[in-house]
Amino acid sequence: MYEHKKQPLLTPKQFLFRLWYNLLVSISILAISIAIGILGFHYINHSDWIDSIHNACMLLGGMGPVVEMTSSGAKLFSSGYALFCGVVFITNIGVLLAPVIHRILHSLHMEDDSK
Confidence at 63, pLDDT banded by 50, 70, 90: confident
Confidence at 87, pLDDT banded by 50, 70, 90: very high
Q: How far apart are CA 108 and CA 35, in angstroms?
A: 40
Q: Which of 1-5, 28-32, 34-38 has the lowest mean pLDDT?
A: 1-5
114 versus 34: the higher-pLDDT residue is 34
In the prediction, which pLDDT does 62 show? 85
- Between the CA atoms of 11, 13, 19 and 23, what dihedral angle is there, to the nearest 10 degrees? -160
Average the pLDDT over 36-48 and give the result: 95
Q: pTM (2 decimals)?
A: 0.81
88 versus 66: the higher-pLDDT residue is 88
Q: How far apart are CA 46 and CA 52, in angstroms?
A: 9
Long-range pairs of 105-108 with CB within 8 A, sequence gap ≥ 24? 106/2, 106/3, 106/5, 106/9, 107/9
Percent of the chain with pLDDT over 70: 94
pLDDT score of 55 more than 80: yes
Question: Which residues contact residue 10 at a Cβ distance below 8 angstroms, ignoring those fewer than 6 apart?
Answer: 3, 18, 103
Question: Which residues contact residue 46 at a Cβ distance below 8 angstroms, ignoring those fewer than 6 apart?
Answer: 70
Average the pLDDT over 77-104 and give the result: 93
pLDDT score of 36 more than 80: yes
Amino acid identity at 62: G
Q: How far apart are CA 9 and CA 18, in angstroms?
A: 13
Q: How far apart are CA 3 and CA 61, in angstroms?
A: 33
